[in-house]
Amino acid sequence: MRKFFLLGAVLMMALFAACSKDNQTYDPVPQFNRDVDSIKAYLKAKNLVADQDTVSGIFYKISAIGNGIDSVKSTRTEIKALYTGQLLSGKVFDSTGTTPRDLGYAGSLITGFQFALTKITKGGKIRVYLPSYYGYGPAVNKDIPANSVLIFDIELTDVTNP
């Protein structure tokens, strides 16, 4: 009888543990608003100016438009670029250094990176400030914490359209 009571108690504890709710559910709208506020505060603190896309809410600053001819025309466009990705804290999480990297198809990149590529042509340079929704969202990715605003400095060095 004692064995059944102990087994029942263990099963009840397991049931309660399985049914407990995580109160931290991801809600993209409030997170997006927090991210935009963080970007605005960052820009103000650093005395930087950036445009904000009215549709996506992504902030960007183009420093060179490029040759005006070779642009990303589809998700199947092959991309080669120089870039550095960092967090608002300044911590660099990825960089090509001085050697352009073959990034594969434009459609395989995070949404915010794709957005940046549509703003420039071959030889163009852009800095984008991405709300987490356009980066990795609530997922943790190596050195990138969940819900992180990302900053990318990108130079589009080559474009091959299908």
Q: Say what the pTM is.
A: 0.84
- Whose tokens are 């870039």? That residue is 83
Identify the pLDDT of residue 5. Answer: 37
In a domain, 90, yes or no: yes
Q: What's the total number of domains in the chain?
A: 1
In a domain, 18, yes or no: no
In a domain, 6, yes or no: no
Identify the pLDDT of residue 23. Answer: 52
- Whose tokens are 């997922």? That residue is 139
In a domain, 21, yes or no: no
In a domain, 2, yes or no: no
Find the helix or strand (DSSP H, E) in which 18 lies: helix 2-19
155 DSSP β-pair partners: 82, 125
- Strand ranges for the chain from DSSP E: 51-52, 59-64, 78-87, 92-95, 101-105, 125-130, 150-160
Identify the pLDDT of residue 8. Answer: 41
- Strand ranges for 1-135 from DSSP E: 51-52, 59-64, 78-87, 92-95, 101-105, 125-130
In a domain, 19, yes or no: no
CATH of the domain at 124: 3.10.50.40
DSSP conformation class of 157: E
Identify the pLDDT of residue 25. Answer: 83
Q: Could you list the residue range(s) of the whole structural domain that residue 43 is in? A: 29-160
DSSP conformation class of 68: S
Q: Alpha-carbon distance 20 to 87, whole Å? A: 33
pLDDT along the chain (162 residues), means of 10: 40 42 76 98 99 97 96 96 98 98 98 97 99 97 96 98 93
